[in-house]
Chain A
Amino acid sequence: QQQVKQSPQSLIVQKGGISIINCAYENTAFDYFPWYQQFPGKGPALLIAIRPDVSEKKEGRFTISFNKSAKQFSLHIMDSQPGDSATYFCAASKGSSYKLIFGSGTRLLVRP
């Protein structure tokens, strides 16, 4: 019940295309869903996050879509750029514990 399942494991997109990464969770008590971006040799960096009371949140080229009934959420990267090539992690936490449960990660490669 604590798992967050992420797919795909890897993704190749052409420059200018849309990158889509999906996550699914089981625990309905989760109430905070962030996405992190990690470059090699660096720590994860918070990209964007959403609460379950909204279905979509957009920040620049990054959008989270949230489907509470399906217990799924996804990250969309519009106009993908080679600089977006990194590993992306979804995560979830509940209440005041702030214990993040991470997905297994998606390695994104954006070809020039």
Chain B
Amino acid sequence: EAGVVQSPRYKIIEKKQPVAFWCNPISGHNTLYWYLQNLGQGPELLIRYENEEAVDDSQLPKDRFSAERLKGVDSTLKIQPAELGDSAVYLCASSLGVKQFFGPGTRLTVL
């Protein structure tokens, strides 16, 4: 069974540029999560989807971050415009129940 797929794996952009990350969850998993992981720290939840609905986006900085999950499968997380402090690893996870399975993440560097 394929795991959570994320792309790109690495992204380097100039500040103020837009960037988008893509996630394909494990087949059949109705819950999808986006986490932010700063260097040397644990992941922090940005947004959680149940099927197409964002049920917890309280930690998402909505002035510059947006996310969507069309048809309740793939998801895209966007940052516009990116700031220096957005440099981090963006992790996607999915679950059918309580067990969450993580993708490899996208490492974003903002110059």
Contact = CB atoms under 8 A, between A and B. Distances in A.
Interface of A: 6, 32, 34, 36, 41-46, 49, 89, 91, 93, 97-100, 102-105
Nearest to A46: B99
B68 to A, nearest CB: 20
Interface of B: 4, 31, 40-45, 48, 56, 91, 93, 95, 98-105
Contacts of B102: 36, 43-45
Given A42-B104, A45-B102, A46-B99, 5 more contacts: A34-B100, A44-B102, A91-B42, A97-B56, A105-B42
Contacts of A43: 4, 91, 93, 102-105
Nearest to A32: B98
A102 B99 contact: no
A46 B104 contact: no
B98 A105 contact: no
Contacts, number: 51
Nearest to A95: B98
A45 B4 CA distance: 11
A104 B99 contact: no
Among A43, A89, A104: residue with most chain B CB under 10 A:
A43
Contacts of A89: 42-43
A80 B91 CA distance: 28
Contacts of A34: 99-100
24 contacts: A6-B42, A32-B98, A43-B91, A43-B104, A43-B105, A44-B43, A46-B100, A46-B101, A49-B99, A93-B98, A97-B48, A98-B31, A98-B98, A99-B45, A99-B48, A99-B56, A100-B43, A102-B42, A102-B44, A103-B42, A104-B40, A104-B41, A104-B42, A105-B42
